[in-house]
Amino acid sequence: MAASTRLGPKVLLLVHLGVFSWYLFTIWSNCSLQTADRHPGLRSYGGRWKYLTFINLVMHAVFFGLCVLVDAVHSAVSVKQSRSGTPLNLSRARDFYFTVLAFPVGTFVFVSFWTLYTYDRELVYPKLLDEIIPIWLNHAMHTVIMPLLLLQMFLQNHRYPSRTAGIFSLAVFVALYLSWVLWVHHASGIWVYPIMAHLSPVGLCVFLGGASLSMAPLYLLGEKLSLMMWSSTGNQKKKKK
C-alpha cells in the first residue's frame, strides 16, 4: 500500500484518540449543561437532533472513532506483517466518510454559522445564549471543527470517490436532513432555525435550495484542497490503482 499518511500508525493513533476524546467531551458538555428551561429549542420536538450542528458533532465523533479503529488495526497488523484485507476496507470506509460527509458538512456548518452570525447573530445564535452557553463551547461546536478537519486532511491522504458517486451520496444526506427539518415543522409547527420563521415560502425555497446547492462546491473544495496538500509528495502518482 502506498504511504498515504504523514505519521506512523502509533502517533496517528494518539492524535486520533485525542481528537476523538475532544469530541466526546464537547458532546458531553453540550448535553450535560442544564439549559433546557432557558433554551426552548432543546425541549421541543426532536431535541438537539434537529440541529445540523449537533448532528455534525456526532458525525465527527464517529469519524474520529473510526480513525482510531483503523489506526489500531493497522498498528496491530503491521506488527504481524500480515496481508491487509480488513484494514484496507476499513480505511476505504473512513476515506468515504471523510470526503463525502465529514468535510463538506463540517465546512458547511462552519461557513454558514459564521456568515449568518456576522450578518445578524439573532438569526442563528441569539445573544441570550452567551449567558447560558460558555464561549468555548460555542467555538468547539462551530469553529474548532474546521481546523480539526484540515489537520486530518493534512495528516492523511483520503481517496476521493468518483465525483458522481461523491456528490450523489452527499445529496442523499442533504435530502434526508431537509426532509427531517420539514418534518419537524410539519409535526410541531416549529422551524429548526429562527431565520426560517422570517422567510416567505419563496424565500424559504431559495434559502433551503441555496444551502443545499452550496454543498457541492464544498465537496469539490475538499477534493481540491486534498489534492493541493498531497500532490507535492508524489503520492498521487504512486497511488494509482
Give the interface with ligand NAG as residue ranges (CB under 6 A): 30, 33, 35, 39, 41, 48, 51, 53-54, 133, 137
Nearest to ligand NAG of 46, 161 (CB atom):
46
Minimum distance from residue 194 beta carbon to ligand NAG (Å) = 11
Nearest to ligand NAG of 36, 93 (CB atom):
36
Nearest to ligand NAG of 51, 230 (CB atom):
51
The amino acid occupying position 92 is R
Distance CA 139, CA 147 (A): 11
Nearest to ligand NAG of 51, 160 (CB atom):
51
The amino acid occupying position 45 is Y
Q: Give the number of other Cβ atoms within 10 Å of residue 26's Cβ.
A: 20
Q: Is the dihedral of CA 197, 203, 205, 210 positive or negative?
A: negative
Nearest to ligand NAG of 30, 152 (CB atom):
30
Asked if 176 and 170 count as a contact pair (C-beta separation under 8 A), the reply is no
Minimum distance from residue 26 beta carbon to ligand NAG (Å) = 9
Minimum distance from residue 141 beta carbon to ligand NAG (Å) = 6
Minimum distance from residue 54 beta carbon to ligand NAG (Å) = 4
Minimum distance from residue 9 beta carbon to ligand NAG (Å) = 34
Nearest to ligand NAG of 30, 91 (CB atom):
30
Minimum distance from residue 56 beta carbon to ligand NAG (Å) = 8
